[in-house]
Chains A and B, each alone.
Chain A
Amino acid sequence: MSGAPHGGSALAAVEAALSALGDDPCHAFLEVDHDGARRRATALDAGPALPLRGHVLAVKDNLAVAGLRCTAGSRLLADYVPGHTATAVERLVAQGAVILGKTNLDEFGMGSSTEASAFGPTLNPRALDRIPGGSSGGSAAAVAAGVCRLALGSDTGGSIRQPAAYCGVVGLKPTWGAVSRFGLVAYASSLDTVGPMAPTVAEAMAAFRAMRGPDPRDATARERPLGSGPSAPASIKGLRVGVAEGWAAAAGLHPGVREAVARAADRLASAGADVRAVALPEPDAALAAYYVLAPAEASSNLARYDGVRYGARVPAPDLLGMYERTRSAGFGPEVRRRVLLGTFTLSAGYKDAYYGRAQGVRAAVRAAFLQCLAGVDVVLAPTVPGPAPRLGELTDPVQLYLLDVFTIGPSLAGLPALHVPTGAADGLPVGVQLLGAPFAEETLALAGEILERGGP
């Protein structure tokens, strides 16, 4: 990273962030920890220099920070205060980052616009009549509005990359298992990842490097396996870049996005990359598999919200009534829909046709991506079909689901994916998605830094 912001003064960074935030006109934050941030910054400035000192951190409100409410955007958890802190957050704090507050999101990460938050929508700082995307809309907006240079999001089917695209910031969805999920309120565990959002690739990568690696509290978090291919190439020269031409030619794709992909391919080629066309699996199969598997896991992950040990309870004379009323009142319509859908696709008589089949499709999608990535180091693809839609424009759930058509496949395959903003279309940010083999984040960063520098 080129010099810490605010000359490495944590307190100066916090004051600047608070003044940039003002009264949070975009409603990026659900809670701002003014006092805690100032206290922590003062203590940090008195101590030894740390790599991330001077960085203010916005944390998506589905990541636990001990002592701060963690609502996951749900009424059910409106007053839930965890005693534990997410490993990803803990590792950034250990390197000197100061937590500014908790950002808005679609309830439990289920949504693509942050309109499905129980606490009201977030606005896109680039255009206030637009959605910021979701589910990490609050974190994307916090970075785009210049409040902070680092935010944490979570990405299950596009929830970091898609809002990064709509808000014009960098967003990294790491390899599944590269960053600990401890402290992340689970949506769909086999797809959930925690990743950074930042104005630059370098800042996002600094955060990723601080967070990644095994964690004794997450049995699925791990190192890049030994012998899993070469580590990051030292230079863009000769880097094999595949352009997902089928995706970039998809019907309904906004011309600005198509152009962004083409321009990015040119930039990488002129920087010395070896650019060629590749074929990625058709997105509709991945989309279908995702909308079976994610809701199925969600129906189980959200079973713990039963009004017994924490959270809001709606009383009833009998146990069943208490359960049903608590959960119906606590969950918003989108969460309710996905819980019902996931329960249905796992239930006796339907499980083989839906859950079983979707598992098989996921395995085929994963194999197809890996096969494609065996021939190239990076795949260049669109992140979203077009610039940010207007608030309230998309009312049918399925229309919203289709915003994630290009981000879901890499999620199913467990791959790292980096969104890099490259310009604007219709006055709104556009960019591209870089995909790599598992644990190839450094390679993605190499190509991403070329793209954000502009040119050719």
Chain B
Amino acid sequence: MIDEATLRHVARLARIDLAGLDLEQLRGELGRVLDLLAALDRADRLDVGSEEATMALRPDVVIPSAPLSELLAAAPAVSEDGAFLVPKVLP
């Protein structure tokens, strides 16, 4: 079972607002999943081996950017000169 302080810490790391959620229920659900994970302790383990495939790389050639207007049109808030706008870290 995850205690409430840990749940709050994890939610902060994940940027999930817990306000309005039933924390007892959530802890219960997560707890049942963690019970499932107990099988890890009993299971065989091996060192993680290396992938045999070789990764293909990309040549250093400029691909023209997508139309800026299209990319910016998807954004919730954009400045006049084309920067994304977000609230400040501290209001």
A and B touch in their complex, CB below 8 angstroms: yes
Which residue numbers of A lie inside 8 Å of B, CB to CB? 80-81, 83, 177, 214, 216, 219-220, 222, 225, 284-285, 287-289, 291-292, 299, 303, 306-313, 315-325, 327-329, 331, 336-337, 339-341, 343-345, 347, 354, 357-364, 367-368, 396-398, 401
| Complex Cα spacing A39 to B18, Å | 47
Q: Is B62 an interface residue (CB 8 A)?
A: no
Nearest CB on A from B49, distance (A)? 6
Is the Cβ of B44 less than 8 Å from the Cβ of A285? yes
Q: When the two chains form the complex, which single residue of A291, A308, A313, A316 contacts B37, counting CB atoms closer than 8 Å?
A: A291
| Complex Cα spacing A141 to B16, Å | 33
A323 — which chain B residues lie within 8 A by C-beta?
15
Q: A307-B76, A339-B14, A398-B36 are in contact. Are A285 and B30 (CB under 8 A)?
A: no
| Complex Cα spacing A170 to B86, Å | 46
14 A-B pairs with CB atoms under 8 Å apart are A80-B74, A83-B66, A219-B56, A288-B37, A309-B84, A318-B89, A343-B10, A344-B6, A354-B40, A357-B40, A360-B45, A361-B43, A364-B44, A364-B46
Q: A220-B55, A288-B36 are in contact. Are A308 and B75 (CB under 8 A)?
A: yes
B47 — which chain A residues lie within 8 A by C-beta?
360, 363
| Complex Cα spacing A286 to B15, Å | 29
Is the Cβ of A361 less than 8 Å from the Cβ of B15? no
Q: A285-B42, A319-B86, A319-B88 are in contact. Are A324 and B15 (CB under 8 A)?
A: yes
| Listed residue (B9, B16, B47) with the most chain A CB atoms within 10 angstroms of its CB | B16
Nearest CB on B from A163, distance (A)? 22
Q: Is B5 an interface residue (CB 8 A)?
A: no
Q: A322-B87, A340-B7 are in contact. Are A363 and B75 (CB under 8 A)?
A: no
Is the Cβ of B15 less than 8 Å from the Cβ of A81? no
Q: Which residue of A lies closest to B76 (CB)?
A: A313
- Classify the secondary structure of B's interface with A: loop
| Complex Cα spacing A316 to B88, Å | 10
A336 — which chain B residues lie within 8 A by C-beta?
16, 21
Counting from the closest, the 9 A-B pairs by CB-CB distance are: A360-B45, A285-B43, A310-B74, A324-B17, A328-B17, A313-B76, A288-B39, A363-B46, A317-B91
| Complex Cα spacing A62 to B54, Å | 28
Is the Cβ of A337 less than 8 Å from the Cβ of B29? yes
A362 — which chain B residues lie within 8 A by C-beta?
48
User: What 1/0 flags go to B70-86 for Cβ under 8 Å of A?
Assistant: 11001111000000101
Is the Cβ of A288 less than 8 Å from the Cβ of B40? yes
Nearest CB on B from A397, distance (A)? 6
Is the Cβ of B38 less than 8 Å from the Cβ of A288? yes
A291 — which chain B residues lie within 8 A by C-beta?
33, 36-37
Chain B interface residue count, Cβ-Cβ cutoff 8 angstroms: 55
Q: A285-B44, A344-B2 are in contact. Are A354 and B37 (CB under 8 A)?
A: yes
Nearest CB on B from A338, distance (A)? 9
Is the Cβ of B45 less than 8 Å from the Cβ of A364? yes
Is the Cβ of B39 less than 8 Å from the Cβ of A284? yes
Nearest CB on B from A302, distance (A)? 9
B41 — which chain A residues lie within 8 A by C-beta?
357
User: What 1/0 flags go to B1-33 for Cβ under 8 Å of A?
Assistant: 010001101110111111111000010011011
B89 — which chain A residues lie within 8 A by C-beta?
318-320
Contacts A83-B66, A214-B56, A319-B89 supplied; 8 other A-B pairs, CB < 8 Å: A225-B53, A285-B39, A307-B76, A308-B76, A309-B75, A309-B84, A344-B6, A347-B13
A319 — which chain B residues lie within 8 A by C-beta?
86-89
| Listed residue (B6, B7, B10, B42) with the most chain A CB atoms within 10 angstroms of its CB | B10
| Complex Cα spacing A400 to B14, Å | 24
Nearest CB on A from B81, distance (A)? 16
B29 — which chain A residues lie within 8 A by C-beta?
337, 396-397
Is the Cβ of B16 less than 8 Å from the Cβ of A289? no
Is the Cβ of B14 less than 8 Å from the Cβ of A343? yes
| Complex Cα spacing A230 to B59, Å | 33
Q: Which residue of A lies closest to B15 (CB)?
A: A323
| Complex Cα spacing A329 to B21, Å | 11
Q: A177-B53, A222-B53 are in contact. Are A340 and B40 (CB under 8 A)?
A: no
Nearest CB on B from A334, distance (A)? 10
Nearest CB on B from A22, distance (A)? 33
| Complex Cα spacing A310 to B90, Å | 22
| Complex Cα spacing A216 to B33, Å | 38
